[in-house]
Every structure is written in C-alpha cells, then in structure tokens.
A and B are shown apart, each in its own frame.
Chain A
Amino acid sequence: MLVRVKLFGPEARLASCSQIELELDARPTCKHVRQALGEHCPALGDALAHARLAVNHDFASDDRVIEAGDELALIGLVSGG
C-alpha cells in the first residue's frame, strides 16, 4: 500500500522534501508509518520523536489504522503566533 506523508517547516528542511512516499503492508497503523519514516529518511532523526502524525487533518494516535486515500502529515514542533 502506497502511503504519502506531507512534511512542513523544520521537518521538510531536514528531509529536503515536502512529501515522502512509503510502500507499506495493507492497513498500516500510524506507528508503522512513523517507523518507516525513520528508516526511509534518517535525516528526520530526533525530530520524529517530537512529531505527531495527522490523518485527514486531525491528530492521530499510534494505533490509528491508515486506509487508502487517507491524507497524512507529519506535524513537528509548530511555531505560529
């Protein structure tokens, strides 16, 4: 199953891209996605530990199952205001 994860701000700069594509087993969880992100892009390093995944524009827990068509984003430390 192809999963695309959008990146922003510091994480996008660390990874030198605004989106990462991962090939994962069907119906992975957010935990699987995080692990795969770390393996696919070691440059994310410690930032991954502080980042959260959002699924379809809501923060998601590690056990959230990803379905085909879901929109994923890695949300690191934010800095609005």
Chain B
Amino acid sequence: MSVHVQIIQGPLPGTIGTGEPGAGAMLVFEGIVRPSEDDRPIAALEYEAYEPMASKQLQALGQTLVRDLGLISLRCMHSVGRVGVGQASFRLEIASRHRREAIDAMDMFIDGLKRDVPIWKTPVFV
C-alpha cells in the first residue's frame, strides 16, 4: 500500500485530457488481471465474447448513459483471448462537464457490463 502526493507548478504532466470541448472531468478505469482466482495462482485470463451481441450490448449501455446523464463522451474497450496477470482487459473513458455524472456513469456501466454483456473469462492456472 502506498500514497503519493505532489503539488505541481502548471499543467500536470502525463495526463491525457479529453479533447472534448466543454469537458471538466475525465475518468479512466482499467480492469487489470489479478494474480489469483479463488486463492489459486493464475498466469492469465482467457476471455470469450459472443459477438456481435457483446458489442451491441456495450453500445446500448453507453448510449443510454450518455443520454440519461448528459455525458460528453464514453469510450469502452474489452479484450478477448488471453490477457496475462497485470495486463489490462478492460478500459473505460468517460468525459463529462462535471465529475459527479462521470463517477455515477462509471459504476453504472461496469454494473451493466457484469450483468448484461455476454463476455466470459476462464482462469489459466499456473
């Protein structure tokens, strides 16, 4: 566990910004493959998706949140195939005018993903 704090003169280095006019908040979430499943060490997760339904569900979920919460943009990527421990299998970027709607949308999107999007993972045990 660690906490690292810095006060920086001027714009922060290494940030991605949004490129979206009017955006005051940019949230980025990455899902990372953990090193164990059910207390057993793994080498990777193998992801399987039912396409085109998975993309269709993700698109519908994103469009609903953009419309209902007034987001500026939402971008989602999800892996299929093998993703090693420590690597990202999921990335969600949300731009909004204020932080609150982006934070709410982040939770709602991930809840919807885990409920309605036909993607499955299988652990590859060491």
Residues on A close to B: CB < 8 A?
6, 8-10, 54, 57-59, 73, 75, 78-81
Q: Are A78 and B53 in contact (CB under 8 A)?
A: no
Q: List 20 A-B contacts (CB under 8 A).
A: A8-B48, A8-B118, A10-B120, A54-B118, A57-B56, A58-B56, A73-B50, A75-B50, A75-B118, A78-B114, A78-B118, A78-B119, A79-B121, A80-B78, A80-B113, A81-B31, A81-B90, A81-B113, A81-B114, A81-B119
Residues on B close to A: CB < 8 A?
31, 47-50, 52-54, 56, 78, 89-90, 110, 113-122
Q: Are A57 and B53 in contact (CB under 8 A)?
A: yes
- Give 11 A-B pairs besides A75-B118, A80-B117, A81-B90 with Cβ atoms closer than 8 angstroms: A9-B48, A54-B53, A58-B53, A73-B50, A73-B53, A73-B118, A78-B119, A78-B120, A79-B120, A80-B54, A81-B78
